[in-house]
Amino acid sequence: MTPHADSSAGIFSRLRTDTSARAWLYAAVLLAINIYLVKKLFFLNFTDNMQTNAGSFMAISRFILRHWPHLDWFPWWFNGIPFENTYTPMLHLTDAAFAWITGCSVGRAFNFVTAFFYATGPVFLFLFAWRISRFLETSFFAALLYSLFSPSVIFPAFRADVGGWWNPWRLRVLVSYGEGPHIAALGVLPLALLLIYFAMTRRKYIWCVAAGVAMAFVTLTNAFGAIDLGLGSACLILAMPKREFAKTALIVAGVATLSWLWASPFLTPELLRAVAKGSQAAGGDFRSTNLFSTQLLIVPGFVLVCVAVRRIDNYFLRFSLLLSCCFAEIVGFFELWNLAALPQPHRYSLEMEMAFSLAIAFSLRPLAARFPQGAKFAAVALILYMTVHQTIHYRRYARAVIRPVRIEDRIEYKTAKWMDQHLGGRRAFVSAQTGTWLNVFADTPQMHSGHDPFNPNWVEEAAAYTIYSGQNAGSKDAEYSILWLKAYGCHAIHVVGPHSRVDGKPFVHPEKFEGILPVLWREEDDTIYGVPQRTSSLGHVVPESAIVKRRPINGLDIEEVAGYVRALDDPTLPDAEMTWRSPAEGNLRTVLHPGQVISMQVTYDEGWVALANGRPAAVTRDEVGLMAIHAQCDGPCDVSLTFDGGPARRVCRVISWGITGSTLMAGVFVFGRRKRVR
């Protein structure tokens, strides 16, 4: 026998006997397969999938790069919002850090980081399953299934969307729908659940801390991650022996509470309320009353599964079946009967695929163990064949959907550059996906862009709906739209026509501004109209009586809004010159008299503080969601405006730092005591 043969035999002998070596090999295979599938994403700045939300995520990263560490106020969307209202920030912080370290564009950073999480997700799933179940090959098979098969295609809607039984739904969601944060949260979810399991079962300080950090990371990456953690943790607990229910539930609840308090500066109670309310109208009618009736319907099925799995000896199989039941019911009830148990239930198809992969692999294990040796070899050969087949097929699919684009040729880029050069930082209403991508290339602030569930101002949402749809406005469609544009300080509006290259065409009547507003720029079927404003400032001196005091019931309820706009246009009122030192600090100079206030066309938040001629001035909210400064001046008035976060955010920051310090001190105590004991 040759030395080479001896070496090969030794390697294979070690692999048969050394579980750790096989685990490393399996992890490497999973990582290699998934990197091979999405390798083009690692090298692209932009793809031609401009219809996705990816632009908004890149814009947040660009803002972080420009303004770090001062991430208090974000002026680019929804007339200005607190930074935490842009989106859960963890992926964007990661993207910005990658872009800063490597010097690459935010587009390249987004694609690289999301591809990384796509590729590592199956590896973490393998690690999760193996470390809990101790069944190495079964865990590898589950992660392989997750990598190369999409159970979502059992539902006709997903099968039609992805284009067939054998195509990759997870890849389509990442590339064609731009779900980078969801994919990233899902990639880390198995690792977080593993750490939660260790905290539940080992009950050691280090595992509780690690579980808390992982919980915060997943939740701060994507809002769906919070639901995933809740359902996943519940299934881990319910799969335990009954005598362990109470202890493990208390541990998980305690870790989760501390984790949220630690992350609370980015998950403030006000933000959670806004998201809970806003998500009810995101992509459908998901009001809590409708959800509750469906939740009552799915509970009996889950209870039956809970009872049934108690007869199964294997803990991890019990967990996998429970988790599969959760997500199968959430997705299935919506796909089959249009009944929603959670907002946007179809998006939990990704979680369902992960759960199904675990359940299929671990359900087949007892059956496969009874196979005769020949059948086992045949099964392995079939798995190898399908692995090669699906890897090649998925790679072809990936090459077809991951296509680079010359961004300078895109109408979205041209629009952004024109606005950046000609609007001078003045606010605009930018429609459809052009608004989504605008702030990747320009600093132009927008009236309506970003992620609707995070918008703290419902009235602005109603106004944007009216501008787009003109519903029930009749012949006054343009008039009502212009009133809202002027009320929210817009100097231009971008309109996509029916023949635009932009995919989304939200205007029902795109021609309504023709002959009414001046055309500032037109290319192809995209037009920018000018909106006349008396001044370029976002601050205006108006009579206190002009402030909107009754909340509009919809976008057509414009009586008080019209009075406010008349005051904005009144040439007898003094100008208010506004300069911004930073997104969160501004200065305004004007002349003010009793009975007058300063209306700021910036979203109200209790974190704004004003000083007028050095004295505190009250800042209140009007009923269209903007600020009114009661400066109490009689003559020249110098107003400084600062966003300091407000009392609630300061409390969150104090608690977060307190938990950080307490955790570190507790760690020093715990590990110090261990050394003394030894």
Q: What is the DSSP letter of 676?
A: H
What is the number of other CB atoms lying within 10 angstroms of the CB of residue 3?
7
pLDDT at 4: 52
What is the number of other CB atoms lying within 10 angstroms of the CB of residue 282?
14
Which residues are within 8 A (CB) of 227 and not within 5 positions of it... i.e. 6 or more apart? 342, 348
pTM of the model: 0.94
H or E stretch covering 230: helix 223-238
Cα–Cα distances (Å) from 358 to 147, 248, 352, 501, 604, in that order, read 12, 22, 10, 42, 47
pLDDT at 676: 63
Vertex 648: Cα angle to 645 and 654 (nearest 5):
90
Q: What are phi and psi of 122, to 5 degrees?
A: -60, -30
Q: Token pair 């660009």 is at which residue?
A: 62
pLDDT at 282: 79
Stretches in the chain below the pLDDT threshold 50: 1, 3, 5, 12
End-to-end CA distance of the chain: 51
Which residues are within 8 A (CB) of 485 and not within 5 positions of it... i.e. 6 or more apart? 429, 447, 467, 493, 531
Cα–Cα distances (Å) from 671 to 195, 226, 658, 666, 668, in that order, read 19, 31, 20, 9, 5
Tokens representing 216 are 């915060």
Closest Cα to residue 34, out of 495, 398, 331, 304?
A: 398
Closest Cα to residue 597, out of 574, 580, 615, 625?
A: 574
Do residues 219 and 176 make contact, with C-beta atoms less than 8 angstroms apart?
A: no
What is the number of other CB atoms lying within 10 angstroms of the CB of residue 493?
23
pLDDT at 1: 45
pLDDT in tens, 559-583: 999 999 999 999 999 999 999 999 9
DSSP, residue by residue, 406-453:
-GGGSHHHHHHHHHHHHSTT--EEE-HHHHHHHHHH----BSS-S-GG
pLDDT in tens, 246-290: 999 999 999 999 999 999 999 999 999 888 888 887 778 788 878
pLDDT at 476: 95
Closest Cα to residue 423, out of 526, 522, 520?
A: 520
pLDDT at 277: 85
pLDDT at 670: 74
Q: What are phi and psi of 586, to 5 degrees?
A: -140, 165
pLDDT at 15: 56
Vertex 654: Cα angle to 652 and 655 (nearest 5):
65
Pairing status of strand 526-530 against strand 519-523: antiparallel
Q: What is the DSSP letter of 365?
A: H
Query: Using CB atoms within 10 A of its CB, is residue 557 exposed (0-12), middle (13-18) or buried (19+)?
Result: middle
H or E stretch covering 672: helix 646-677
DSSP, residue by residue, 544-600:
GGGS--S--SSTT--HHHHHHHHHHH-TTSPP-EEEEEETTEEEEEEEE-TTEEEEE
Tokens representing 357 are 């992969």
Q: What is the DSSP letter of 404?
A: B
Please name the amino acid found at residue 11.
Answer: I
Cα(405)–Cα(54) distance, rounded to whole angstroms? 14
Closest Cα to residue 230, out of 85, 342, 84, 114?
A: 342
Do residues 491 and 427 make contact, with C-beta atoms less than 8 angstroms apart?
A: yes
Please name the amino acid found at residue 533.
Answer: Q
Pairing status of strand 608-612 against strand 539-543: unpaired
Which residues are within 8 A (CB) of 150 and not within 5 positions of it... i.e. 6 or more apart? 158, 162, 167, 168, 169, 170, 353
For residues 99, 101, 104 and 107, what is the CA-based torsion angle, rounded to 10 degrees?
Answer: -20
Please name the amino acid found at residue 123.
Answer: V
